[in-house]
Copies of this chain bind each other. A is one copy, B any other.
Amino acid sequence: MRLGTCVERITRADADAVAALGSAGVATVHEAQGRTGLLDQALRPIGAGTAAGTAVTALCPPGDNWMLHLAIETMRPGDMLVVAVTSPNTDGYFGDILAEFLRIRGGRGVVLDCGVRDVAALRESGLPVWARAICAQGTVKESLGAVNVPVICGGVHIVPGDVIVGDEDGVVAVPAAHAAQVAQAAKARIEKEEAIRARLRAGEATLDIFGLRDRLSARGMRRFETLADLERAEREG
């Protein structure tokens, strides 16, 4: 976090990896990279879209969205805007005018660790947005933050150019350097889940499919026919 700095040019993750991660979805990507990178679940979708792109970051003081204007200028088609704040704030940093500017620049979506407004227009426009709050409170343009520096957004460390994937489950970030590898792991996981579903439909139980049944007794799981049996065992010590 370096207030008062702007980086012009970022190194973006590979576009094919971005596409593959986007089609895998948030829960699968999160699993595929070892259960890391998931943003705070309080960041919820405004509307119901899904999106994947490369992060352009803005770091903002509370109630001040000046840096968003500068950050959007650095966006290229395929980017996602990621907005972090220096202290918790729910004001409406992003509304329909910035949305129009972002779409003109080719932005694919927006993730904010703060609030948005004009949500009726945002929903109608179809732009995918994830935010911590919906709030009409306006912001000022008085204090410098930073653009395209690494930020913490939703509790995750995001470097400009990282992959951002969002859907109805939330938002996950993947470091650009790991994107291809995670995309590969995600693909493998999807195939594995398909196999699991086939076994489920064939009548198997998940404890058997996952090999978890024997471990239950190894761990000392005690089984009782009825609750009365359990209560009797407890009374008898």
Residues of A within 8 A of B (CB): 1-11, 25-27, 30-31, 34-38, 41, 44, 48, 50, 61-64, 66, 69-70, 72-73, 86-92, 95, 97-98, 100-101, 104, 115, 117-120, 123, 133-138, 140-144, 148-150, 152, 155-157, 159-160, 167-170, 172, 177, 181, 193, 196-197, 200-201, 203, 205-207, 210, 212, 216, 219-227, 229-230, 234-235, 237
- A26 vs B177: C-alpha distance in the bound complex, in angstroms? 35
Are A168 and B1 in contact, CB atoms less than 8 angstroms apart? no
- Residues of chain B within 8 A (CB-CB) of A193 are 97
10 contacts between A and B (CB under 8 A): A1-B37, A2-B36, A3-B35, A63-B86, A69-B206, A97-B193, A104-B201, A144-B216, A148-B227, A149-B230
Indicate which residue in B11, B169, B206 contacts A92 across the interface (CB closer than 8 Å).
B169
- Residues of chain B within 8 A (CB-CB) of A34 are 1-3
A1-B34, A62-B62 provided; 13 other pairs, C-beta below 8 A?
A1-B37, A2-B234, A7-B224, A30-B138, A41-B135, A63-B64, A63-B87, A69-B205, A101-B200, A101-B206, A118-B169, A123-B168, A144-B216
